[in-house]
């Protein structure tokens, strides 16, 4: 069988630096990589859309099927694409859609560890006392930490971020529990940068199906939520799940706003049914100024930045390069997105 040597037009709608564009071009002489920075589909010339076979883009820059008749694969720049809407092009027959899952695991794993350590070691309380120039006499009791060593950490959604978190937690001597859609299969078929993650499920002590979430959180001193947002996960961490947690436990959320029921979370925090929370995502962003979460002394808030890194484009280019090699070889792509599943 004669190999396919026809050229493949690749369009990037983000302004990648020239060295990363060159890295993509070096994948194969068959590739014709062009960069057209765009904020909306109309920013791309019609002739460019017409010849594009592979599109690297954001959910804001998607063509119609008529604009891009030769489009066969869309690689998104982000892992979470729940806000891409109902773009008709995504339903094109034979179109492959992939996400950037795995490219942000390094910085997000560090962010989660920072939150776990800050909450467990009472950093919010210490920061409040520093602002008051207060050296508390009861500091031995008030600031007694909940250490990761010997603790149980539950990860809600054992995907790429959860697996990197589990890897990092090994050094701290924590027991890791996790939920997974298919709890009988601990392996990860997705994109895993070398030396990161948990490809074979070696770092998790027990896997639970999502239906057993309440059973898992009962055992946990810390709970980390890393799920994508879809019809199955919306409101999954509800009042009943929060009520099942220990009152001494902390929760960290880096998933998507909507996975945790925030009204129930606020009530649990106000009623001291939880020890505290580290929150990076919210149902409404920016978080409204009148949200009681801002003023809670046991809550750490960040403005949806857990995935930000000065190295993100480099890591994204490495992942896209791996997927381009698979595409040209006719091999399965990493991180295939299912419209039905929503991830």
CATH of the domain at 150: 3.40.50.720
Give how many domains the chain has, as a whole number.
2
C-alpha–C-alpha distance, residues 13 and 34, integer Å? 9
255 assigned to some structural domain: yes
219 and 142 both lie in a single domain: yes
Q: What is the pLDDT of residue 238?
A: 98
C-alpha–C-alpha distance, residues 216 and 188, integer Å? 21
Distances (CA, A) of 37 to 20, 271, 330: 15, 49, 28
136 and 272 both lie in a single domain: yes
Q: Going from the first residue of the chain to its last (343 residues), give the mean pLDDT of each consecutive group of 10, the final group possibly shorter.
A: 80 96 97 97 97 96 97 94 78 95 95 98 96 95 96 97 97 98 89 93 97 98 96 96 98 97 98 98 97 97 97 97 98 90 74
Beta bridge partners of 153: 176, 222
171 and 59 both lie in a single domain: no
C-alpha–C-alpha distance, residues 18 and 264, integer Å? 48
C-alpha–C-alpha distance, residues 343 and 334, integer Å? 13
145 and 167 both lie in a single domain: yes
Q: What is the mean pLDDT of the chain?
A: 95
109 and 99 both lie in a single domain: no
**Which are the contacts of 232, defined by CB distance < 8 A and separation ≥ 6?**
210, 341, 342
335 assigned to some structural domain: no
**Which are the contacts of 59, defined by CB distance < 8 A and separation ≥ 6?**
76, 78, 81, 83, 84, 85, 87
216 and 228 both lie in a single domain: yes
Burial 82-111 (b: 16+ CB within 10 A, else e): bebeebebbebeeebbbbbbbbbbbbbbeb
340 assigned to some structural domain: no
Give the per-residue SS3 of 18-41: HHHHHHHHCCCCCEEEEECCCCCH
177 and 281 both lie in a single domain: yes
25 assigned to some structural domain: yes
Domain that includes residue 207, residue range? 105-301
C-alpha–C-alpha distance, residues 100 and 230, integer Å? 17
297 and 316 both lie in a single domain: no
320 assigned to some structural domain: yes
The pair of three-digit structure tokens given for residue 36, joined into one six-digit string: 């057209």
Provide the Cα torsion 39, 16, 55, 194; round to 10°. Answer: -130
Q: What is the pLDDT of residue 254?
A: 98
121 and 195 both lie in a single domain: yes
337 assigned to some structural domain: no
124 and 47 both lie in a single domain: no
The distance of Cα 46 from the centroid of its chain, to the nearest Å, equals: 33
Beta bridge partners of 12: 35, 56
297 assigned to some structural domain: yes
204 and 255 both lie in a single domain: yes
Q: What is the pLDDT of residue 85?
A: 62
293 and 320 both lie in a single domain: no
Beta bridge partners of 31: 8
**Per the omega criterion (within 30 degrees of 0), is the bond before 286 cis?**
yes
339 assigned to some structural domain: no
Q: Could you report the per-residue pLDDT of 213-233, keeping only the tens digit for each?
A: 999 999 999 999 999 999 999
């Amino acid at each position: 069988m004669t190999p396919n040597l026809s050229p493949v037009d690749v369009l990037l709608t983000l302004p990648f630096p020239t060295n990363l564009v060159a890295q993509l071009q070096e994948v194969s002489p068959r590739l014709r990589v062009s960069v057209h920075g765009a904020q909306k589909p109309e920013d791309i010339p019609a002739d460019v859309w017409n010849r594009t076979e592979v599109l690297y883009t954001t959910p804001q820059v998607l063509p119609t099927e008529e604009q891009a008749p030769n489009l066969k694969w869309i690689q998104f720049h982000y892992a979470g694409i729940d806000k891409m809407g109902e773009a008709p092009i995504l339903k094109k027959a034979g179109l492959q859609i992939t996400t950037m899952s795995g490219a942000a695991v390094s910085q997000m794993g560090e962010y989660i560890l920072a939150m776990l350590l800050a909450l467990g070691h009472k950093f919010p309380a210490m920061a409040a006392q520093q602002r008051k120039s207060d050296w508390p006499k009861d500091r031995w009791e008030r600031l007694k930490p909940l250490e990761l060593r010997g603790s149980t950490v539950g990860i809600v959604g054992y995907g790429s971020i959860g697996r990197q978190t589990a890897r990092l937690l090994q050094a701290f001597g924590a027991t890791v529990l996790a939920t997974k859609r298919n709890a009988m299969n601990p392996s990860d078929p997705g994109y895993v940068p070398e030396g990161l993650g948990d490809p074979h499920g070696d770092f998790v002590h027990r896997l639970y199906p999502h239906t057993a979430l309440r059973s898992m959180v009962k055992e946990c001193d810390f709970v980390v939520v890393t799920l994508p947002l879809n019809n199955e996960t919306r409101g999954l961490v509800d009042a009943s799940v929060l009520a099942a947690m220990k009152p001494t436990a902390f929760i960290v959320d880096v998933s998507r706003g909507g996975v945790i029921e925030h009204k129930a979370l606020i009530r649990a925090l106000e009623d001291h049914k939880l020890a505290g929370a580290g929150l990076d995502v919210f149902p409404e962003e920016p978080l409204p100024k009148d949200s009681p979460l801002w003023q809670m002394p046991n809550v750490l808030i960040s403005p949806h930045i857990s995935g930000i890194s000065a190295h993100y484009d480099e890591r994204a280019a490495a992942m896209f390069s791996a997927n381009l090699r698979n595409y040209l070889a006719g091999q399965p792509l990493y991180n295939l997105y299912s419209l039905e599943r929503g991830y």
